Structure 1
Amino acid sequence: MTTVTTPRPGLSSRLSALSKVVELGPGRLDPKLMSEAESLLLRAGDRLKLSSEHTVVALAGGTGSGKSSLFNAVSGLELSPTGVRRPTTARTHACVWGLEGAAPLLDWLQIQWRHRFARASALDKGESQLHGLILLDLPDHDSIRALNDNEADRLIGLADLVVWVLDPQKYADASTHRRYVTELAGHEAVTVFALNQADRLSTEELAELVIDLNDLLRREGVEHPTVVPTSAVTGRGVESLKSVVAAAVSRRRAAIQRLEADLRKLEQRMTAAMPVGEALAIPAAVDEARKMGLVDALCDAVGVPAVGEAMENIYVERSNRWVGWPFPRWADRFRPDPIKSLRLEDVSDEIKGIAAGTVTAQAAEVTNAVQALAEGLSGTMHPVWRSSLHHAARSRLGKVPSALTEDLTQVAPQLDRVPAWWRLLKAWQYALVAAFGCGVLWLLLGLLIPGALPPALELMGDTAALPWAALMTVSVLGLGALSGIASRNFVELGASRERERLEREMRRRVAAIAEKMVVEPVERELARHHAFYTAMRGLSS
């Protein structure tokens, strides 16, 4: 019966975190680390689907280390060829204690059928403690044949537990230690060192070599090495090696421990490349204060306050043509036109001309505003993420000025619009002017033309009404002046409100463009940054 390896909750969550890192890492994490992470995820997924009742133990070593002889000694059969031919083992051989359910695992290991051997009678020989063992005799890792060398490296990476077979002459071989041993830090639970050919050494020499090998391994980062002296010729230490292997097999945890060790090693390298540190303190979204600062800067870049002020000034000046008391307005015709002196005859066209002038000239201010936002958010980021955030902030920067111009043109005030109350007030004021004119004419006729006075006085009752008529005429003039002053105050109040409405609407549109073209890309990158480092922290949980 085949069972599937179930990872511990810690391993499962860490593999999920690694998967998230791989998902979010492209372009940020070193491609070599990404490749190794992807390989580890693939290997972990495959291994955890296969039998948990079997433990893959690989005998690895260099040419002449006696690896195949030790393989035969442990299996109790002459399964792997031995001799002086270099390399002796051309293909991986496998001996299985308990064949049931092992076939898919052997297929995954790519062990050829003719090189698979079963110990069907293992239980009858008192070796029940090895039930579930798949023992591999790998090709020499220093083989002169590239094919064998690659196969050895591949299976060393796939095995649940690796037994390094070292000989007394080459146990400190630099190539072995440089290529493999230095990578074993943290893998003590799934790594064993067999100092083979112990029969060639005296007791004292063997003790010295064991001490020296232990010291060498510790210097290279293997804190608690397991060293077993063996001799395939005399059988010395073979049972000890079997006991070490049997202990790993019986626990049924070597596969999990190997994955945990590989994951821990990869996590250390990733953390060295991308330290978590205070990275998670960086917000996953742009705060409101920064958004407001960006909008303020963009409003200044497109001249929103200037447009609002110009609109207010022109609104007031144009109102004089309608609601101002006519007599001062007529007098103004003999003075220079302040509107023309300000060159504000057609503010609507000027506002709509932002695209042709102001925005293009102030594109640098838009760039500075976006750059300031990115700098404020990425100050403590890793350089790779800082660069990515700046790229995200600038991803649509070239279109921001034209988008602002295009959108703000749609809210340019209609300065040729005349409110209805202006027209009514103008009619009222001209009626007062007419009344004043009639009163003046009446008085002039009564005072200067005696023949015309009696009919007029008949309407008033007697000549004593003449001063009252003069007072009424002057009152009409005062009423007109007061209505002009009052209407101007109302106009100024309306102009202020119109300016506020315009600036509010323009700011709203600027904020919408900033959100869509700057803030959203930045927040996507911030969310990715936060999720990446959350996953990185999850790797070490």
Structure 2
Amino acid sequence: MTDPGQLITRAKALTAAADLVERYTSDPAATVAHATARRVMRRIVYGHDRTVVGLVGPTGVGKSSLFNALAGQRASPTSELRPTTDRPHGHVFGGPAHKLLDWYRVSARTSGPGPQGWESVVLLDLPDLDSLDLTHRETVERVVEHLDFLIWVVDPEKYADVRVQEAVLRPLVEYGLAVQVVINKADLIPAEERDVVRDHAAAVLAKLLHETGRTSLDPLLVSAGTGIGQDQLRQRVAAVTADRERVLAPLARDLQTAADQLEPSTWMPTVDEATADQALADLIELYDLDTVMAARAGSRQARRRRMAAWPPLRPLLGVAGSGGAVVARDPDQVTATLDELADGVVGEHHGPWASAARRGMLAGAGDLTTAVNDQLDQDDPTDRQDGSTSPARARGTGWPGLVGEVQNWLMVATVAIGGLVAWTTLVGDTGPQIGTRQLILPTGTPVVAALVGAVALGLVLTAVGWLLAGRAHAAELPRHEDLLALVERAVDRAVMRRAESVLRARNRVVALTDLAAGRPDRRP
């Protein structure tokens, strides 16, 4: 049993799916889905418990007269001049249905009690389909797609007009709309010929609709003037009204159709390894990463040697610069390389979601250079693009920082011992007086030996640091696999995540369209 609340949930899911499709693709099915979801939600909210019945047909068949007869009052004007109905007229049985009629854009409306089973019926009299005024047909086409039950009204002269029925009636039957064919003015047919006319009308309709699956529409002979067949017509309307599943099923079917049109293809992105490896190798060359990383390794070597050196020698070693930032030698070629990578991801698929993934990957070309530089900085935080290395950062850089600290303390000791030697040489061994005691300073060979030892130790540590820095530099020279790993991380961050975002959105659309169509969740 179709539940109105479930239809609202499905319509909201269809709206959410259409929003995602519009965000990532240009699929026109999203526009149709939005319109379908709005129509279903409004139909449910404005009167899911109502059955909207429309009288539709060509000029002069007595639709308005039949409308008034069914309404039990003169609710729609009639005249011998044709056409008379230039706008929809509505008659509400039971309580008011203002919002529903406002949505149908039916301003001419009446109300009144109805026969049993018609308490929820809203009856509409629509303009003539074959009127010379094109706005009449536009009005009918706008309203018909929202009807729950259509009464197709013809007369003894027009029931066999295949042209109109082929253009209008057949599509409605194919759509699944509940239809009742009525041959009005039955009082003009001799009583003995009425069964023949009915059977002939049924045969004409069966031939017209043989491909729709409906073998017959069981036409009724009715007279708005004499009452012939009106009770049968009222009973058939009451039967449709009582069958809420038949009224709500077309709404569910509309949601399923729109969801099926919106549903993404079965494309799943996969990375062709050979294409990916070639793209990464090309990017290494385009960004000249061998040179940049070698320069950065050289910068780190110079920085380590300077940090581990005896302080008086540090100015002679200069300031260690940076290896510099990565810059694409040919940005257009970078885009072309990413295009080849996108080929490896998208493959032979050309649907809107595959195209969205490709666009997203190519849009990452502008961010790739930044991602490569950020990855370099992340791998070595002491070798920033701007060449900055703060003292705080320097103290946390392993053995060079430790040796540098030892060298700094040796320098302090050297200055202290050197000052002592200078004092005793110029002033003597008499030191400052502390209270009543005179401080006698050490002199002679031990002091000189300590001074020479401090200087020698500083020079030895400088040499050791020089050698260790050289060995570290040799180990840090870029290897091809290191370059591949670095570029792969940068590409994943700047490019592949965009394709993954498209995939997540696509999978979400699959789940939402499944919900909108009333299917089980088929997300991968």
TM-score by shorter chain over 0.5: yes
- After TM superposition, list the pairs within 5 Å mapping 1:201-216 onto structure 2: 202-216=194-208
For 2:97, the equivalent position in structure 1 comes to 102
Q: 1:20 to 1:419 in 2, by over 3 A?
A: closer
Aligned letter for 1:165? Answer: V
Q: 1:262 to 1:502 in 2, by over 3 A?
A: closer
For 1:360, the equivalent position in structure 2 comes to 329
Q: With the length of structure 1 as denominator, give the TM-score of the two structures.
A: 0.65
Larger Rg: 1
Could you tell me how far 1:249 is from its partner in structure 2?
A: 1.5
Q: 2:355 aligns with which of 367, 372, 387?
A: 387
Q: 1:249 to 1:297 in 2, by over 3 A?
A: same
1:44 paired with 2:56, answer: no
Contact 1:97 1:133 in 2 (8 A): yes
SS of the residue 1:130 aligns to: coil
Q: 1:303 aligns with which of 273, 277, 288?
A: 288
Structure 1 CA distance for aligned equivalents of residues 301 and 503 of structure 2:
47
For 1:250, the equivalent position in structure 2 comes to 242
For structure 2, the residue ranges without an aligned partner over 5 or more in a row are 306-318, 378-382, 388-393, 408-463, 519-524
Q: 1:183 to 1:521 in 2, by over 3 A?
A: farther
Q: 1:408 to 1:311 in 2, by over 3 A?
A: closer
Q: 1:74 to 1:408 in 2, by over 3 A?
A: same
Q: 2:232 aligns with which of 240, 263, 272?
A: 240
Q: 1:264 to 1:161 in 2, by over 3 A?
A: farther
Could you tell me how far 1:87 is from its partner in structure 2?
A: 1.0
Q: 1:96 to 1:206 in 2, by over 3 A?
A: same
SS of the residue 2:12 aligns to: helix
Q: 1:497 aligns with which of 452, 475, 481?
A: 475
Structure 1 CA distance for aligned equivalents of residues 88 and 326 of structure 2:
77
- After TM superposition, list the pairs within 5 Å mapping 1:220-299 onto structure 2: 221=212, 223=214, 226-232=217-223, 233=225, 235-253=227-245, 255-267=247-259, 270=261, 276-279=264-267, 281-282=268-269, 298-299=283-284
SS of the residue 2:54 aligns to: strand
Aligned letter for 2:217? Answer: T
Could you tell me how far 1:47 is from its partner in structure 2?
A: 2.1
Aligned letter for 2:324? Answer: K
Structure 2 CA distance for aligned equivalents of residues 263 and 369 of structure 1:
42
- After TM superposition, list the pairs within 5 Å mapping 1:385-534 onto structure 2: 385-401=353-369, 404=372, 408=376, 411=384, 493-499=471-477, 508=486, 510=487, 513-534=490-511
Could you tell me how far 1:389 is from its partner in structure 2?
A: 1.9
Q: 1:174 aligns with which of 146, 163, 170?
A: 163
Structure 2 CA distance for aligned equivalents of residues 23 and 317 of structure 1:
56
Contact 1:62 1:141 in 2 (8 A): yes
Contact 1:411 1:505 in 2 (8 A): no
Contact 1:20 1:535 in 2 (8 A): yes
Per-residue Cα deviation, 1:194-253 (whole angstroms, up to 9, x for no partner) = 34445546533431221221231233x354653322222554433332222101212344
Aligned letter for 2:353? Answer: W
For 2:458, the equivalent position in structure 1 comes to none
Q: With the length of structure 2 as denominator, give the TM-score of the two structures.
A: 0.66
Q: 1:85 to 1:348 in 2, by over 3 A?
A: same
Contact 2:14 2:516 in 1 (8 A): yes
Contact 1:60 1:138 in 2 (8 A): yes
Q: 1:105 to 1:317 in 2, by over 3 A?
A: closer
SS of the residue 1:192 aligns to: strand
Contact 1:54 1:132 in 2 (8 A): yes
Structure 2 CA distance for aligned equivalents of residues 238 and 169 of structure 1:
20
SS of the residue 2:43 aligns to: helix
Could you tell me how far 1:183 is from its partner in structure 2?
A: 4.7
Could you tell me how far 1:263 is from its partner in structure 2?
A: 2.7
For 1:136, the equivalent position in structure 2 comes to 124
Structure 2 CA distance for aligned equivalents of residues 133 and 57 of structure 1:
7
Could you tell me how far 1:63 is from its partner in structure 2?
A: 1.0
Q: 1:106 to 1:412 in 2, by over 3 A?
A: closer
Structure 1 CA distance for aligned equivalents of residues 106 and 299 of structure 2:
89
Aligned letter for 1:395? Answer: A
**Structure with more helix by fraction:** 1
Q: Which moved more, 1:138-147 or 1:7-16?
A: 7-16
Q: Which moved more, 1:195-204 or 1:53-62?
A: 195-204
Could you tell me how far 1:57 is from its partner in structure 2?
A: 0.8
1:217 paired with 2:209, answer: yes
Per-residue Cα deviation, 1:318-360 (whole angstroms, up to 9, x for no partner) = 999xxxxxxxxxxxxxxxxxxxxxxxxx9978x53853xxx31
Could you tell me how far 1:398 is from its partner in structure 2?
A: 3.8
SS of the residue 2:180 aligns to: strand
Per-residue Cα deviation, 1:137-177 (whole angstroms, up to 9, x for no partner) = 11112322344333323322332222222345254443553
For 1:370, the equivalent position in structure 2 comes to 338
Could you tell me how far 1:186 is from its partner in structure 2?
A: 3.7
Q: 1:315 to 1:53 in 2, by over 3 A?
A: closer
Contact 1:301 1:366 in 2 (8 A): yes
Could you tell me how far 1:187 is from its partner in structure 2?
A: 1.6
Contact 2:92 2:110 in 1 (8 A): yes
Could you tell me how far 1:370 is from its partner in structure 2?
A: 1.9
Per-residue Cα deviation, 1:3-43 (whole angstroms, up to 9, x for no partner) = xxx94465344313311232123273544x44433232222
Q: 1:316 to 1:413 in 2, by over 3 A?
A: farther
Could you tell me how far 1:290 is from its partner in structure 2?
A: 9.5
Identity rate, percent: 24
Structure 2 CA distance for aligned equivalents of residues 494 and 10 of structure 1:
68
RMSD, aligned CA: 4.9
Could you tell me how far 1:72 is from its partner in structure 2?
A: 3.0
For structure 1, the residue ranges without an aligned partner over 5 or more in a row are 1-5, 321-345, 425-485
